[in-house]
Structure 1
């Protein structure tokens, strides 16, 4: 297939490279600051399990002009949430009518925005469960596991896109899958505020308790709003907060698969906060806050976390700085590292 990756960031470059490796004709549409490095030295993708692929610059088509969308048979949107409306306008202007458009983005509103702007296209939501981070210019590292999920529909797109290095499956309950991913992604902000790697954060019981409380808050909101939640981890969604609160030795035995992540991995929001870039906090905690207001359910943790991220603190915070400790909780030793 002729595929345009609309947003050559970490997810876009990683997935685009592996789609090209599987035989697709891939164009990366992005900014010069990313594409110039690829032009100069090619594109390298790696993962936590040992995958290593290098692609010369001529193995991919690199474009900064959205007119490249005119050649697409499929568009995969991977821009940050704040750029979705502009990308939707570009797709409407340049892409052939009726071709599928997949949203491989965080949050719930991106597919809605694309559908509203592209009524003559087959727009489908998608969910990318894994974390991809830049390891150096033109090199991107996948630090966590999972398979891409896309909304079911005609054309067997999941089967056509799937490969051994990039499994893609279809789901008939995509809303539940996306809500499940959003609940997990609420930790993006906590990880950014902690200054820790994901693995260090998960091995710290105080942080896990805060993660669990935030998840409980979100799950209560979603239940009140009548939304189903499909788990994107090996654990059922309702069980995850209970597992997170366990003592660390027991947690590490029960949740071993949650710890199959690169030791250096952090969330994308951590990198955005360190670089002073806009974050997706409004698409994550903001979504729960808005839904909570509509359903009459308070969301104090999400509100506090959003406020802190918007202030962009220059030093790492502890769980106690993010919310008051409950009287029944005893603090454990926590490690702090600077955000910069």
Structure 2
């Protein structure tokens, strides 16, 4: 599988934005100097479950690695036809043409396999991958939820599996086009096996932070992801939704319940931003003007940013509500604690999954619905 280095072209009018056009297997237009036998081969990376997050990561990594995206036939056909375009945050733009595939066998020989399927597909992904993973392949789980890395370890004995976390929001904006609406650093379990991937990712413009507390990081991410349901039901961009106190009060109630069950389970969420996890519900409850000043970083998202759950509802796909609010409910049941806000949102998202074109919820109505105070 030949690998052609990327062509980097400056975009007129800016000195910070580049359009990276990356083509795997292309014939160069000009004669290249002979490749030294001592020159290291680029790592082979397969992205299994190449949806919004997988395409964003794979598109960036294609600048410095031999990347194969493995996904649904229709999505891969779009990529083959259009090429992959990733925009944001801000005015950043990337265009790439990584290799695509629809069969799990395409991961054979990969140095790293990034698993980016939804949590509901983790067990099936492990079963599909198992016959094709090389002995040296490192599996990286960049998924929501608390248990996916362990599920992969249990299903892939003897193979290194590392937990990761993607902090930013990515949505599909058109055929083979994706937009990253927020910024942040990938987080990955600290291990020697991770070092080659980290080097390639950083060289490709993907900041990575190695962590020794990934269970705590994932718990903190779950707290933030409890907003996915609120955003999906609101129908609003994230910035607008988070700027409205009634929606934030819904999220605050969900987070308080989650923090209570985390304490009962002995889980201490990591601090991933300026506000400790325990104080997040109080900050969310501040009046809008005060919140805008106190949580300016939380609102530093562009106008297109929305949750992946909103996109799932728009496209008629199953959501990850069981791995978010559902995870809180499972822990609450285990420790005999109430979680009515999370239970109500879980039910509302389930209803939205089965009701195409359901109208969005206004903030006050959604807040009232937590207690069934008034009809919608």
Instruction: Calculate the TM-score normalised by the size of structure 1.
Output: 0.91
The match for 2:122 is: 84
* Aligned 1:72-151 pairs, distance under 5 A: 72-151=110-189
C-alpha separation between the residues in 1 aligned to 2:102 and 2:113? 15
How many angstroms does 1:260 deviate by?
1.2
1:16 aligns with 2:71: no
Kindly state the Cα deviation for residue 233 of structure 1 after the two structures are TM-superposed: 3.1
Does the 8 Å CA contact 1:129/1:232 hold for their aligned counterparts?
no
Quickly say closer, same or farther: Cα 1:147–1:242, change in 2 above 3 A.
same
Q: Distance in 1 between matches of 2:292 and 2:180?
A: 22
Q: Out of 230, 235, 249, which is 2:275 matched to?
A: 235
Corresponding position: 1:300 with 2:340: yes
SS at match of 2:127: helix
The residue aligned with 2:108 is 70
CA distance in 2, matches of 1:309, 1:5: 28
* Deviation for aligned residue 1:165: 2.6
Q: CA deviation at 1:72?
A: 0.6
> Aligned equivalents of 2:364 and 2:293: distance in 1?
26
Alignment partner for residue 362 of structure 2, among 294, 315, 318? 318
Cα distance between partner residues in 2 of 1:135 and 1:39: 17
Give unpaired runs (5+ residues) of structure 1. Answer: 328-335
Q: Return the alpha-carbon distance in structure 1 between the equivalents of residues 369 and 312 of structure 2.
A: 28
| Greater than 4 Å deviation, 4+ residue runs | none
CA distance, structure 2, for counterparts of residue 239 and residue 8 of structure 1: 35
SS at match of 2:117: coil
CA distance in 1, matches of 2:347, 2:367: 12
1:39 has 2:80 as partner: yes
Once the two structures are TM-superposed, the CA of residue 326 in structure 1 deviates from its matched residue by 9.8
Whole-angstrom CA distance in 1 between matches of 2:87 and 2:203: 15
Aligned to 1:50: 91
Q: State the shift of 1:98 in Å.
A: 4.2
**Equivalence for 2:69:** 28
Query: Does the 8 A contact of 2:249 with 2:367 survive in 1?
Result: no
Secondary structure, counterpart of 2:192 in structure 1: coil
**By how many angstroms is 1:159 displaced?**
3.7
TM-score norm. by structure 2 comes to: 0.83
Give the Cα separation in 2 of the matches to 1:93 and 1:320. 51
Alpha-carbon distance between aligned partners in 2 of 1:86 and 1:214, rounded to the nearest angstrom: 30
CA gap 1:189/1:325 in 2 versus in 1, 3 angstroms = closer
Q: Deviations over 1:188-233 (max 9, x none)?
A: 0111111111111111111111111111111111011110101333
Provide the C-alpha distance between the structure 2 equivalents of 1:101 and 1:165, rounded to a whole number of angstroms.
Answer: 21
Whether the aligned pair in 2 keeps the contact of 1:159 and 1:169 (CA below 8 Å) is: no
TM-superposed CA distance for 1:163, in Å, is 3.6
Listed as ranges, the matches of 1:174-185 within 5 Å are: 174-185=214-225
RMSD: 1.8
Max radius of gyration: which structure? 2
Partner SS for 2:348: helix
C-alpha distance 111-198 of structure 1, shift in aligned 2 (>3 A): same
SS state at 1:206 partner: helix
CA distances 1:79-98 after superposition (whole Å, capped 9, x unpaired)? 11121111101221111124
Contact 1:4/1:29 (CA < 8 Å) preserved in 2? Answer: yes
CA distance in 1, matches of 2:115, 2:233: 27
Instruction: Say which SS state the counterpart of residue 318 (structure 2) adopts.
Output: coil
Q: How does 1:220-299 map to 2 (within 5 A)?
A: 220-299=260-339
Larger relative contact order, structure 1 or 2 (CA cutoff 8 Å, min sep 6): 1
